Amino acid sequence: MAPAAAEKPEKPGAQGVGPKTQLAKVPLSGVDMTQTYVNPINLPGMAVRHIVGTMPPTDANVANTSQIPASLNLPTWTAASGRTLSSRSSVGFTRISENSARTGADWSAVNVDGTIYLYASGAMQNAPNNNRTVWSTTDYLTWTPHEMNLGLVAPTVVQVGDTFYMAGNNTPVYRADSPTGPWTSMGSFLRPNGQVLSVGDVQFFLDTDGRLYLTYNIGSPIMGAELDPNNPRQLISEPVVLWTFDPRQEWQHIGDNKATYTHGYVEGSQLFKLGDTYYLQVASGGTEFTTYATGVMTSDRPLSGFTETQRNPIGAGNNHPSSVYPNAGHGSFVVDNAGNLVFFYTYVIAYEEFFERRLGMDVCTVIPNGPQKGAIDCELSNTPQLAPGRKISGRDDVGLYNVATNSQAYWSSSYAPGRNPYYGSDRSLSTWWEPADTDSAPTYIRGFGTVFHISAAQIQWKELGRTFTKDNAVQYTLEYKDIPTNTWRTLVDRSTNTTAYTADYVTFDRVLTNAVRLKILGTTENVKVGVHELNVFGENYHLVASKGMITP
């Protein structure tokens, strides 16, 4: 039986009634910053999607209503009708793609003897040409990429005995003797009567009693069935409805502003078990929207009785604007050998095109008692967190702020039209600072507006053009202004870097400063780069306390 997640320490004032004032962060003492991470995760070698998007020359076919009346005239609607209407209402519209884009989504995790393997959609090409990389980790800090012989869209993997099985959107079931393959096809899913079943957003679930299940569907309802564990392509029960779209719940609506009641494009289901309780998580809201979210239902049975017994979507609430704004889309819960309940989720950007996405990771807990007993509690993070299993005094948030957000304190050696240095720390992944084409030594300085002790930084690179690959690595140095000598000193030297990180998270010895300087030296593929976000993490709590302003 999988171990239950650790109990979460109670927050101050949790027994009271009504909203609580968020307390200021206080830095943890004794933190080894090399044991921390920041979202989006520093994952090497993420796939690149090459999409060319341009506006049509005229608006002749824009807002084409010719296909709408048939949908509007239906006497009653279902969620499927809403999806159809949404697609027909967008006929003729397009979007501009300026550059190719890094992408990874639909994360699915498997714990194999203490090693976590993470599978994902990549460029959303059909199997077997999708992302072929699976990443593994034993510490959640260092991720090792493994190239497989095939890649699926929205993959799922399960281990039954010594054998691994994988499936994806409308694919056969594949088997292997290793979590990294090589994979061989067993054929398509089959209903009990032998009829072929083609399904999307599939997820395997192996119960503690050895019984194997499948959940699936892209769009409500979410379906489930039992499989033969000795032949996982074979259903041994007819599919049943597990959960359906509820238009009265705003988090399920599709769109960035949740204005559409017709559907939520419910997808990405996962069935898992903690203790004696079965959990069904689903994503809703549309993978192309930043409000893509995840909700959780519970039951005491694997294929029926699921109800919402907690506040959804998970992760809502205590997410302050200290960096960028993550949302927990299509993902996967996994329990590791230490009992940590870790949630890997899709982190939506969707600027260059619909499927520009990243990886988010946070530790969740199960509320042990009270009215919300059994509910999953997740707080999505965007500042340094101790990796799962490394809490100090019951905390994993190390108490740092993103200090590189003062919009008036910046300088750059140049900037391209419309890409001024303000955009390098505006807490948006839809904008970026870009040096001028003639700039042979791009340099970017970000001031903090006051003095901070800093100990980590995250550079979210914007690779420009359409020629770079998943192996393109940025080479650079990061410096800080040494206050006593008024000189620049090195924090990080990655001038010979050959690892392709999209969101490069670096830690260093704690220093007191008011600014950092980034020097871009080039890339391994000679690609021009800009900066989505230069996030710097620090605190001035101890400085303020030492001056008598607050009592430590």
The C-alpha atoms of residue 552 and residue 550 are separated, in whole angstroms, by: 6
pLDDT at 290: 85
pLDDT at 125: 67
Q: Taking CA 58 as the corner, what is the angle to CA 55 and CA 62, rounded to the nearest 5 degrees?
A: 75
pLDDT at 131: 86
Is the predicted pLDDT of residue 5 greater than 50, yes or no?
no
The C-alpha atoms of residue 437 and residue 221 are separated, in whole angstroms, by: 50
Tokens, residue 33: 């910053």
Closest C-alpha to 454, from 529, 402, 381, 521: 402
The C-alpha atoms of residue 197 and residue 217 are separated, in whole angstroms, by: 12
The C-alpha atoms of residue 298 and residue 296 are separated, in whole angstroms, by: 7
pLDDT in tens, 442-484: 999 999 999 999 999 999 999 999 999 999 999 999 999 999 9
pLDDT in tens, 107-117: 999 999 999 99
478 half-sphere exposure, CB direction, 13 A CA radius: 23
Instruction: Please report the DSSP string for 35-89 in residue order.
Output: GEE-SSP--BT-EEE---B---SSSTTTT--TTSHHHHT-SS--HHHHHHHHHHH
The C-alpha atoms of residue 343 and residue 46 are separated, in whole angstroms, by: 19
Q: Taking all residues of the chain, what is their mean pLDDT, rounded to a whole number?
A: 91
Closest C-alpha to 270, from 316, 192, 326, 335: 335
pLDDT in tens, 65-81: 999 999 999 999 988 89
Tokens, residue 425: 């720390």
Q: Which residues are CB-neighbours of 492 under 8 A, at least 6 positions away? A: 457, 477, 478, 506, 508
Range in 13-27, 206-220, 239-253, 261-275 with the lowest mean pLDDT: 13-27
Q: What stretches of 367-502 adopt beta strand conformation (E)?
A: 376-378, 385-386, 401-402, 410-412, 443-463, 474-482, 487-494
Is the predicted pLDDT of residue 121 greater than 60, yes or no?
yes
